[in-house]
Amino acid sequence: MNNIFDKIQESAEFINSKTTVKPKIGLILGSGLGVLADEIEEAVKIKYNEIPNFPVSTVEGHAGQLVVGSLQGKDVVAMQGRFHYYEGYTQQEITFPVRVMKALGVDTIIVTNAAGGANIDFKPGDLMVIKDHINLSGNNPLIGSNDNRLGPRFPDMSTAYKPNFVQLVKDCAKELDMEIQEGVYAFFSGPTYETPAEVKMARILGADAVGMSTAPEVIVASHSGMDVIGISCITNMAAGILDQPLDHEEVIETTQKVKAEFLSLVKTVVNKI
Ligand SMILES: O=P(O)(O)O[C@@H]1C[C@H](O)[C@@H](CO)O1
Ligand SMILES: Nc1nc2[nH]cnc2c(=O)[nH]1
């Protein structure tokens, strides 16, 4: 079996053999944010290493399993742990699960991440609804031959993050009496955190947050015709803004501090979709 279409079908058939749930909403849970998957009821958990053609998570804070079940009365499939370009996977490999979610029946995907605040008005602990992204990785998951069954050769990205869904997230935050930022997410390959000069460049380019994921998944989700919602947890100020070094422990620590707010917001959004 060599083409991606057959691999997607094989992975989807394997997952469908483990559960009768037909999820309509997909969730990709970023570093330290996997706790949301523990709220999924009647959960069927499938380790990534059991699923044909799936990569495996290698990063602390990423459990490495697919969780299918019910959240807020909706049938969902969640990636408890994601794959990153910096782990050495291709952008096609890190976005393969999005293709599989589409094959399972998902038509709306919520992509979350931990990100650094490049906008100096942000503070660690902020949640940001993503209104657009800047792909600074120099790569793209759609490079290579295009299988028209998966999507168009030249996809439009004008409203990859649909304004009505951005507004939905803001309305949910307001309903929860929660402050929320709105902004642009810049995708760097990682694994290094940015230099102060790179953060300044990103800010000049219009970015409000910097991260190492999300954009490839959104490109493929949009290519597949899914509606996309992006939410960043601003876990630290990006390099050069505060006079302190960055580390992954701080990232995980901050996600644990804001997990109650993060859980409330995402569950409210799921309920309203
Ligand atoms: O998977 P996400 O983008 O949430 O994780 C971010 C990016 C790196 O993986 C990690 C760096 O601390 O946090
Ligand atoms: N690229 C990047 N990813 C992050 N994830 C959490 N914080 C950061 C950051 O400052 N930069």
Tens digits of per-residue pLDDT, 83-130? 999 999 999 999 999 999 999 999 999 999 999 999 999 999 999 999
Determine whether 87 is an active site residue: yes
| Residue 89 vs residues 108, 161, 193, 266: alpha-carbon distances, Å | 25, 25, 18, 28
pLDDT for 61 equals 67
Q: 41: annotated binding-site residue?
A: no
Share of the chain above pLDDT 90, in %: 90
Instruction: Look up the ipTM and state it.
Output: 0.98
Determine whether 261 is an active site residue: no
> Which stretches of the chain score pLDDT less than 50?
none
pLDDT for 31 equals 87
Q: CATH number for the domain including 59?
A: 3.40.50.1580
Which ligand approaches the C-alpha of residue 238 most closely?
Answer: 2
Q: Give the number of domains in the chain.
A: 1
How far is the C-alpha of 7 from the C-alpha of 33, rounded, in Å?
28
Cα radius of gyration (the chain): 17
Q: Which structural domain, as residue segments, surrounds residue 108? A: 4-272
Q: 207: annotated binding-site residue?
A: no
Determine whether 62 is an active site residue: yes
Q: Is 235 exposed, middle or buried (0-12, 13-18, 19+ CB in 10 A)?
A: buried
- Which pTM was predicted? 0.97
161 close to ligand 2 (CB < 6 Angstrom): no
Tens digits of per-residue pLDDT, 206-225? 999 999 999 999 999 999 99
232 close to ligand 2 (CB < 6 Angstrom): no
Catalytic residue among 16, 86, 93, 178: 86
